[in-house]
Amino acid sequence: MPLGIQVSVEPIAAAERLSALTGQSPHDGAVASFVGQVRADGDLVALELEHYPGVTEAALGALREQAISRWSLSQAIIHHRVGRMEIGETIVLVAASAPHRRAALEAVSFLIDRLKTEAPFWKCVHTASGRHWVEARDSDTAASQYWRDQIAQEDA
């Protein structure tokens, strides 16, 4: 797997991963993080995450590299779970550290917004009566596009 990237069927030990990022680099004044977790929604009983092994890790690795370079991060991690998860379980952990807070906070927003539309994961909702695939949300596409435009502007 690319550095800082993990995709696992096993539960994500978010607290442990975050502990490993804090107090690590003397020049880091800021560590920001985001945890996405399974939300009770309608008749959802469990969520199942499918992915495309290999391609997923490469896509996450590329997003991580972009974030590190754009915000001069000291550290960045993405840990995404796949398989079946119950309500309240962690789906994804994103964290970044940097000298100053704005870089860490923006990088975390960027990573979670972009990974939703740029890494080959698919969510399937299991209910008591069957299952259905989650449709992409326009708001997610817009959030991802925002960062795409931001980066295109800077590179121009």
Note the residues at the interface with a copy of itself (CB under 8 A). Answer: 14-16, 18-19, 22-24, 26-40, 87-90, 99, 101-102, 104-105, 108-109, 112, 143
Selected from 21, 92, 95, 104, the binder of another protein by CB under 8 A is: 92
> For residue 152, what is the enclosing H or E element?
helix 138-155
142 is an interface residue for another protein by CB under 8 A: no
Residues in the chain: 156
Cβ atoms within 10 Å, residue 125: 18
> For residue 147, what is the enclosing H or E element?
helix 138-155
Q: How far apart are the C-alpha atoms of 3 and 19, rounded to whole Å?
A: 18
Selected from 31, 95, 108, 115, the binder of another protein by CB under 8 A is: 115
Q: How far apart are the C-alpha atoms of 57 and 5, rounded to whole Å?
A: 7
72 is an interface residue for another protein by CB under 8 A: no
Residue 133 binds what, of another protein, a copy of itself, none (CB under 5 to 8 Å, by partner type)? Answer: another protein
99 is an interface residue for another protein by CB under 8 A: no
91 is an interface residue for another protein by CB under 8 A: yes
Minimum CB distance to a copy of itself smaller for 58 or for 118: 118
Comparing C-alpha atoms, which of 68, 83, 111, 96 is closest to residue 12? 83
Comparing C-alpha atoms, which of 115, 15, 30 is closest to residue 65? 115
Contact 91, 37 (CB under 8 A): yes
Distance of closest approach, residue 26 Cβ to a copy of itself, in angstroms: 4
Distance of closest approach, residue 152 Cβ to a copy of itself, in angstroms: 22
Binding site for another protein (CB under 8 A): 36, 49-52, 54-55, 58-59, 80, 91-92, 101, 112, 115-124, 133-136, 140-141
